[in-house]
Structure 1
Amino acid sequence: MVLISIAQAQFFFLALTRVLAVLSRLPVLGGQVIPTSVRISLGILLTLLLSPWQSITPETPALTLLPFAFAVLRELIIGLTAGLALDLTFGALQTAGELIGLGSGFAAGRYLNPLMGDSGSVLDQFFVMLTMLIFLVINGHHRVLTALAQMFEVLPLNASLNALPLDEILHTTSLLILNGIQIALPVFGALLLADLGLGLLARTAPQIQVFFLGLPLKVGAGLLVLAMSLAYTLPGLIALLEQIGPRMLSLLGG
């Protein structure tokens, strides 16, 4: 008969807190569309497989209430900080779709995106779904799980938490925002040229209803340039998702 001490149960709960905090920021495994019972069951299974809580001997003294509460808060901060890399990666690609939709007129129609938990345009949803598909094709979930296991080596359970690398967090945030803008730049540039052309047309021929002419023109131009530039943006998109595991560890100083 296997007996589990209070200290082992506490360390398991700490590991579970960290795992669930990371999974809550990953739309594929722990998004809002996944039922809570499934997310908790998946978190328990991953904690049993990945965390080193079994190394705690039954003779280890249990934590009292206040140190245990601080330990839970520390693990929650660690998990959410690592999950910030997931938020920034998917958010940067969502920003690319938002920028394209804003210039092409698709931003006028918005609806709820259950994967990200907020509203977005049609192109916004397209980029999110495309990102999810590529993420699964390149086994991005395996990279996240590998990084999750390495987190217990970089920051062991109930270890002292040093100051988080704010410079690395700010650098990663700015880099991912820049990548999102670069993905949207070809379409955004084409839409800007279309606006300039429509402005010149309105000057030379005022009798033409530029507003009614420009709306379908910009929609068609946006979709055409997006289809043409997709082959050039996909390698950068894949490279962005392939580095998601190391990015999670870098935010923790690993």
Structure 2
Amino acid sequence: MLISVLQAQMFFLVVTRVLATIIHVPVLGGNTIPNQVRLAFGITLAVVLVPWQSQAAASDPGMTLFPFALAIGREILVGTVAGYAAAITFGAIQMAGETMGLGSGFGSGRVLNPAMGESGSPMDALFYTFSILIFLVMNGHHMFLVGLQKTFEVMPVASTLPVLKPDVIIGMTTGLIVAGIRMALPVMGALLLTDLVLGLLARVAPQIQVFFLGMPLKIGVGLLVLSVALVAFIPLLEDLFQQIAPRMLTLLAGEG
């Protein structure tokens, strides 16, 4: 089978888009995955997702250097826009965990979260790990790959640039921020009630050291409420992960 220059260039553009998209999903191309593995995985996905058609090697000379460089930049932009839907989804989950951790007293002990490549509270790491497990159990990675394949139908390789509408991007980002706050509300509400109780206790019995009593109490309340609310979080997380692929296509299509 002969491979033309144009065909090799198109395959390289496909690999570029795939790699620019999967780096936003921690379990597929996150910071913890070596570059060699990401590159091999991207090439494998490109072979699977895009049909391979043979043609004569001399049938087309291919793109010159400058148009090819522009096409590479375009595919990086398309992959980044598509991956933004996954990035803000996992970012909303991390925001929820970070909010719960700050109010419960875990904010003073920062640990490295390798999945995100930055530090966070232990509760943040716990909630984020639980979310990743839900993502894998419900085959969210399969849904993401299906959405990645459909991006080549919505926005073919070496076609026009995506139409980015600020209202669509802002609306999507706002919705996911609200979803993250909603997930943090049970723990935040319980911690607010705990602060109110401690404040009343300080007024009734001033001799009690409320500061030293409140720290372990808030940690215990936060962990207790989180463990009870994890069951209620599962449907919310499933809905967030199921909408990653539609959000990718919405961003590329520029439709609200």
Residue 54 (structure 1) shift: 3.3
CA-to-partner distance for each residue in 1:72-96, whole Å, 9 max, x for gaps? 0010010011111111111111111
Whole-angstrom CA distance in 2 between matches of 1:75 and 1:137: 30
Identical aligned residues as a percent: 57
Aligned length: 253
The alignment's TM-score, normalised by the length of structure 2, stands at 0.94
Q: Contact between 1:14 and 1:72, CA under 8 Å: does it hold in 2? A: yes
The alignment's TM-score, normalised by the length of structure 1, stands at 0.95
Q: Contact between 2:3 and 2:54, CA under 8 Å: does it hold in 1? A: no
Q: Contact between 1:14 and 1:71, CA under 8 Å: does it hold in 2? A: yes
Q: Contact between 1:7 and 1:56, CA under 8 Å: does it hold in 2? A: no
Secondary structure of the structure 2 residue equivalent to 1:208: coil
Matched, 1:3 2:5: no
Secondary structure of the structure 1 residue equivalent to 2:53: helix
Residue 34 (structure 1) shift: 1.2
CA-to-partner distance for each residue in 1:222-253, whole Å, 9 max, x for gaps? 11111222222211111111111111111112
Matched, 1:198 2:198: yes
| Equivalent AA in structure 2 for residue 130 of structure 1 | F
Equivalent in the alignment of 1:87: 87
Matched, 1:141 2:141: yes
Matched, 1:151 2:151: yes
Equivalent in the alignment of 2:45: 46
Equivalent in the alignment of 1:19: 18
Secondary structure of the structure 2 residue equivalent to 1:251: helix
CA separation of 1:146/1:57 partners in 2, compared to 1, >3 Å: closer, same or farther? farther
Moved more, 61-70 or 185-194: 61-70
Matched, 1:227 2:201: no
Whole-angstrom CA distance in 1 between matches of 2:236 and 2:42: 31
CA-to-partner distance for each residue in 1:82-119, whole Å, 9 max, x for gaps? 11111111111111110010000011111111111111
Whole-angstrom CA distance in 1 between matches of 2:55 and 2:174: 40
Whole-angstrom CA distance in 2 between matches of 1:167 and 1:73: 24
CA separation of 1:218/1:57 partners in 2, compared to 1, >3 Å: closer, same or farther? farther
CA separation of 1:170/1:107 partners in 2, compared to 1, >3 Å: closer, same or farther? same
Structure 1 segments unaligned to the other structure (5+ residues): none
Whole-angstrom CA distance in 2 between matches of 1:57 and 1:88: 43
Q: Contact between 2:101 and 2:121, CA under 8 Å: does it hold in 1? A: yes
Residue 126 (structure 1) shift: 1.0
Structure 2 segments unaligned to the other structure (5+ residues): none
Residue 128 (structure 1) shift: 1.3
| Equivalent AA in structure 1 for residue 252 of structure 2 | L
